[in-house]
Amino acid sequence: MSGLLALLDDVAGIAKVAAASVDDVMSQAAKAGAKAAGAVIDDAAVTPKYVHGFAASRELPIIWRIAKGSFKNKLLYLLPAGMLLSSFAPWMIPPLLMLGGAYLCFEGAEKIWHMIAPHAPQPVRENGMDGQGAGNPAHLEEQKAAGAIKTDFILSAEIMTITLAEIPPSNIWMEAATLGVVGIGITVIVYGSVALIVKADDVGLYMCRNGRLGVTRRLGRGMVRMMPGFMALLANVGTAAMLWVGGSIIIHGAEVLGFGGLAHHIHDLAGTVGQMVPVEYQGALGWGAKAAMDGLCGLALGLVLIPVVTRVIAPLWATISGGRKGGAT
């Protein structure tokens, strides 16, 4: 009996340690996730533009497809890579983040450039499809989802890196568990929010048709009328978010690498702008000024990268990939 009691006491002790470890993981995940809130907002703002223009029946499947890609990005690629880099090559993290930031700057600047100078329509073949098969809704959905997952990879890398930097020094398993909790939680929050946003018009239509009260039907009609403009606005916010995040990654990465002149100038100028208003508003205005300057730097870099990517990198990649496919046209 005494042996059984001792065994139960040991089990209870192990359970307490395990519970304390879980509590530590959740606590660290909450704190680190809060630090990554800016990138989380950017992720939520960027994603809805990838389902804009599709049939309502395809919106949730596309979001779920992107969400699965986001889980894969965070848990299968970024989490192990983050652990390896943090343990063996921490010096590689800033350059890799800057490469991802440059991609975001390019993508955001390219979308703005297309608004200013739209491309001429591509030739349409007899089957109603262009040379890339873009006339096929399934192909377009594939392209949009792939683009969203690529963008998610960059934003997820930023989120996971911020999280890793905020985790107190501990063993690798505790860090991995915390990163995993943050990755899962943020993905659920982001794509759950995106699903609610893109289906709000369907909810409004249901309220309009089935509401028993006049106020319910009016609210439903208001939601239906509001959502197209709101989705377009959100798509623009997503583009601006890419430039903001990309620019801030580049500027911060340059500062980490010892080139902090631009970061210091932006910080000082943002502080000067913040001092133009009463004390209670200085933080918000200073933050907004810094975000705007980061975004403008991202736009400038992205515009510089457009000819590099479109005239050098893209043709080179097309040659390589075309060769693997047999050069079919």
Confirm if 157 and 78 have CB atoms less than 8 A apart: yes
Rg, the chain, Cα only: 24
Per-residue pLDDT, averaged over 163-177, amounts to 75
Comparing C-alpha atoms, which of 163, 143, 150, 141 is closest to residue 73?
A: 150
Half-sphere exposure of 279 (CA within 13 A, CB side): 0
Confidence of residue 13 (pLDDT cuts 50, 70, 90): very low
Taking the CB of residue 9, how many other CB atoms lie within 10 A of it?
10
Confidence of residue 19 (pLDDT cuts 50, 70, 90): very low
Tokens representing residue 277 in the block? 């208003």
Of the listed ranges 78-82, 212-216, 283-287, the least confidently predicted one is 212-216
> What local confidence, expressed as pLDDT, does residue 92 receive?
82
Q: For residues 248 and 233, what is the distance between their CA atoms, to the nearest angstrom?
A: 22
> What local confidence, expressed as pLDDT, does residue 6 receive?
47
Confidence of residue 71 (pLDDT cuts 50, 70, 90): very high
Confidence of residue 142 (pLDDT cuts 50, 70, 90): confident
> What local confidence, expressed as pLDDT, does residue 303 receive?
94
Evaluate if residue 212 carries a pLDDT over 70: yes
Confirm if 61 and 143 have CB atoms less than 8 A apart: no
- For 214, residues 6+ apart whose C-beta sits below 8 A from its C-beta are none
> What local confidence, expressed as pLDDT, does residue 308 receive?
92
Per-residue model confidence as pLDDT tens digits over 175-197: 788 888 888 888 888 888 888 88
What residue has token string 């680190």?
Answer: 32
- For 289, residues 6+ apart whose C-beta sits below 8 A from its C-beta are 269, 270, 273, 274
Evaluate if residue 74 carries a pLDDT over 50: yes
Confidence of residue 326 (pLDDT cuts 50, 70, 90): very low
Q: For residues 72 and 69, what is the distance between their CA atoms, to the nearest angstrom?
A: 5
Percent of the chain with pLDDT over 90: 13
Per-residue pLDDT, averaged over 102-110, amounts to 87
What is the three-class DSSP state of 220?
A: helix
Per-residue model confidence as pLDDT tens digits over 235-279: 777 788 888 888 988 998 898 888 989 999 999 999 999 888 888
